Homo-oligomer: A and B are copies of this chain.
């Protein structure tokens, strides 16, 4: 097998975590100083690994092998604000280490061979426009989307690109003839592997997401002087509606479906004022497109049943969504076999979060591999994985790449 240098791998991850370090995590939103310094560091490491490396016109860092074809390995190096050190970074540093290992093994030499390209996508986390880097890499972002996107400070995406002098750079693009596969390793960001004592998750697909903003409109009244039967209590209506939604999901969801009422707000929000307005944010996720549709219909039925009861108007607004993605079965089999080769117990599971692989899977055969998250934590400085599990994951991914190159 190709030789993975575990100490070097961990050292690289720690060095990368130094850019924008925040406690035990990182604060490295897309196009921040820390993010761009990290990208230059990644670019240098890719060049050291013998790849032709450059930052493209949206901030993606691509290192290209001189082989004729390539397995593309990558993820992203931007983070959520005050996030963890492994989310995204892990998949990029795995790519760097595997590119070095492939080169050292000499298995991708020659113009007709298959090598390894490595990419760090920009702006996966959505400071401006989620999955922007991978979507741009796949030619999916329109000029209008670029024009409209801005971050929480009101800074435009186009301006951020111009600020860093990137707009003249050549774009990097996926190439279905060149890229025989896209492999993305990532921390699980959930508790399942750890709870089951497993080391590798072979991802079958990425869930689709549907989001709704549900609002109740009533009337503010004095909560002492207004009899109960004369109120138009938006808060009570929302509480009962939210319970009905939870009941609906429990009754109709599949075992893997997840849902969340993530936010509830009341206005004006005082002990002694009947709420005039109340709102909730709800999302649900499933890999089945049909089930996403059916659950959306059931949500609409719950809202329709609540609308007008107690003289409170209830409306649901679609707050966007993402279609589910299925990953390549041949690549899943290759990861499963590689895990067995490395003695790493594995399981097939779905990804409950979005990833760049979601975008890539529409253009090239794509796969994802998870390693355990301690306590299932992520998007938080407490995010972590043991060094041992990190190194084992890299060995499994390297073994997968080796088998794909051998079969090419």
Interface residues in chain A, defined as those with a beta carbon under 8 Å from any beta carbon in chain B: 188-192, 195, 207, 209, 211, 220-228, 230, 233, 235-236, 238-240, 242-243, 246, 253, 256-266, 269-275, 278, 281-283, 285, 319, 351-354, 376-380
Residue of B nearest to A235 (CB): B261
B258 touches A224 (CB 8 A): yes
Would A352 and B189 be within 8 Å (CB), given that A221-B376, A263-B270, A272-B262 are in contact?
Answer: no
Would A191 and B353 be within 8 Å (CB), given that A275-B262, A379-B222 are in contact?
Answer: no
12 residue pairs of the A-B complex, CB under 8 angstroms, read A190-B222, A190-B224, A223-B260, A224-B258, A228-B253, A238-B264, A239-B264, A240-B243, A242-B243, A264-B278, A271-B282, A271-B319
What's the Cα separation between A211 and B273 when bound, in Å? 13
> Chain B contacts of A253 at CB under 8 A?
228
What's the Cα separation between A258 and B271 when bound, in Å? 12
> Chain B contacts of A225 at CB under 8 A?
188-190, 351-353, 376, 378
> Chain B contacts of A270 at CB under 8 A?
262-263, 281
B227 touches A190 (CB 8 A): yes
Q: How far is the CB of A213 from chain B (nearest CB, A)?
A: 9
> Chain B contacts of A243 at CB under 8 A?
239-240, 242-243
B283 touches A272 (CB 8 A): yes
What's the Cα separation between A281 and B319 when bound, in Å? 28
Interface of A, helix, strand, loop or mixed by DSSP: mixed
What's the Cα separation between A208 and B344 when bound, in Å? 66
Would A227 and B192 be within 8 Å (CB), given that A222-B352, A240-B246, A283-B271 are in contact?
Answer: yes
Residue of B nearest to A257 (CB): B228
Q: Which of A260, A275, A285, A354 has the most CB of B within 10 A?
A: A260
Would A191 and B263 be within 8 Å (CB), given that A236-B246, A246-B239, A283-B271 are in contact?
Answer: no
What's the Cα separation between A264 and B264 when bound, in Å? 7
> Chain B contacts of A262 at CB under 8 A?
223, 235, 266, 269-275
B264 touches A235 (CB 8 A): yes
Q: How far is the CB of A6 from chain B (nearest CB, A)?
A: 26
Q: Which of A236, A271, A281 has the most CB of B within 10 A?
A: A271
What's the Cα separation between A378 and B379 when bound, in Å? 46
Q: How far is the CB of A224 from chain B (nearest CB, A)?
A: 3
What's the Cα separation between A319 and B380 when bound, in Å? 33
Q: How far is the CB of A291 from chain B (nearest CB, A)?
A: 15
What's the Cα separation between A233 and B260 when bound, in Å? 9
Residue of B nearest to A284 (CB): B223
What's the Cα separation between A261 and B264 when bound, in Å? 13
What's the Cα separation between A377 and B221 when bound, in Å? 7
Would A230 and B272 be within 8 Å (CB), given that A246-B236, A258-B223, A262-B235 are in contact?
Answer: no
What's the Cα separation between A238 and B269 when bound, in Å? 16
Would A224 and B353 be within 8 Å (CB), given that A236-B246, A246-B236, A272-B283 are in contact?
Answer: yes
> Chain B contacts of A264 at CB under 8 A?
235, 238-239, 264-266, 278
> Chain B contacts of A236 at CB under 8 A?
246, 261
Would A195 and B235 be within 8 Å (CB), given that A224-B353, A243-B243, A269-B263 are in contact?
Answer: no
